[in-house]
Amino acid sequence: MGEFRYETPSASELQRLLWIKPGSSGHLDEVRPRIYIGDMCAAKDKHLLKGLNITHVLNAAHGKYNVNTGPGFYRDTNISYCGVEAFDMPSFDISAFFYSSAKFIRNALSSGGKVFVHCAMGLSRSSTLVLAYLMIHENMTLVEAIKSVAENRNICPNSGFMEQLRQLDKQLHYQGSAT
Does the residue 14 lie in any domain?
Answer: no
Question: Would residue 119 show up in a list of annotated catalytic residues for this protein?
Answer: yes
Residue-level pLDDT, tens digit, the chain, 179 residues: 556 678 898 988 888 888 776 655 689 999 999 999 999 999 999 999 999 999 999 999 999 889 999 999 999 999 999 999 999 999 999 999 999 999 999 999 999 999 999 999 999 999 999 999 999 999 999 999 999 999 999 999 999 999 999 999 999 987 544 44
Does the residue 58 lie in any domain?
Answer: yes
Beta pairing class for 28-32 and 35-38: antiparallel
Does the residue 9 lie in any domain?
Answer: no
Does the residue 20 lie in any domain?
Answer: no
pTM of the model as a whole: 0.91
Query: Residue 79 is part of a domain; what is its CATH number?
Result: 3.90.190.10
In 3D, which of 39, 45, 166 has the Cα closest to residue 94? 166
Domain range for residue 71?
29-172
- Catalytic residue (choose from 41, 82, 119, 156): 119
Report the domain count for the chain. 1
